[in-house]
């Protein structure tokens, strides 16, 4: 967030100095943009297996033996078996709400989930379970990733953000410039 704001300010400072920046005409924006999708903090603990699914927006990748773990932004982790390169198998989807990164170590996954660090036992990939949770140690992004433009500002009192959806905005005050 801060780097984005810093980027925004320095961008405009630079471009104003170059005289080529189209400064937004208004401070509040009406029109097409993004708004947060919230889940309650209780729902963050809903860590479990779901049916394997296609990748929508990937992130961190991790290879352990023949297993390839691929992050699904804010949703969970896909697990593929690459034992046969010609015929890879989509093995599992591990639902971890609000996840943005992870690492695999032994039979455990360490991941972020909103403001928490969670430990997940994957000894049985088809029946995962949370083994530990350290609350309030991570600072989550309060803006849509990989997006340039206006968005409805995050309101943390509404819960954890698990997605950003397209929306028609009224009086939007937040903007990102990645």
Of 48 and 115, which CB lies nearer to other proteins in the complex structure? 115
154 exposure class (CB count in 10 Å sphere: 0-12, 13-18, 19+)? buried
Q: Which of 43, 46, 50, 101 binds other proteins (CB under 8 A)?
A: 101
Compute the residue count for the chain.
178
2-41 footprint of other proteins as x/- string (CB under 8 A) = xx--xx--xxx-xx----xxx-------------------
**Torsion angles phi and psi, residue 50, rounded to 5:** -130, 170
Work out the burial of residue 25: count CB atoms within 10 Å of its CB; fewer than 13 is exposed, 13-18 middle, 19 or more buried.
Answer: exposed
Pairing mode, strands 102-105 and 108-113: antiparallel
Among 29, 38, 80, 151, binds other proteins (CB under 8 A): 80
Q: Which residues bind other proteins (CB under 8 A)?
A: 1-3, 6-7, 10-12, 14-15, 20-22, 54-65, 68, 70, 80, 82, 84-90, 101-106, 108, 110-112, 117, 119, 121, 131-132, 134, 137-139, 148-149, 177-178
């Amino acid at each position: 967030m801060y780097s984005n704001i810093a980027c925004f300010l320095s961008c405009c400072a630079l471009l104003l100095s170059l005289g080529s920046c189209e400064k937004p005409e208004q401070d509040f924006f009406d029109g097409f943009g993004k708004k947060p999708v919230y889940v309650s903090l209780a729902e963050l603990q809903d860590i479990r297996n779901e049916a394997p699914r296609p990748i929508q927006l990937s992130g961190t990748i991790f290879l352990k033996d023949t297993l390839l773990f691929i992050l699904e932004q804010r949703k969970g982790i896909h697990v593929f078996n690459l034992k046969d390169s010609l015929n890879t198998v989509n093995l599992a989807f591990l639902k971890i709400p609000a996840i943005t990164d992870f690492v695999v170590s032994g039979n455990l996954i360490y991941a972020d989930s909103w403001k928490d660090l969670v430990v997940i036992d994957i000894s049985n990939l088809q029946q995962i379970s949370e083994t530990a949770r350290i609350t309030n140690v991570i600072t989550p992004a309060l803006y849509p990733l990989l997006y340039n433009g206006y968005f409805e500002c995050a309101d943390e009192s509404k819960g954890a953000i698990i997605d950003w959806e397209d929306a028609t905005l009224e009086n939007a005050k937040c903007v990102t410039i990645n």
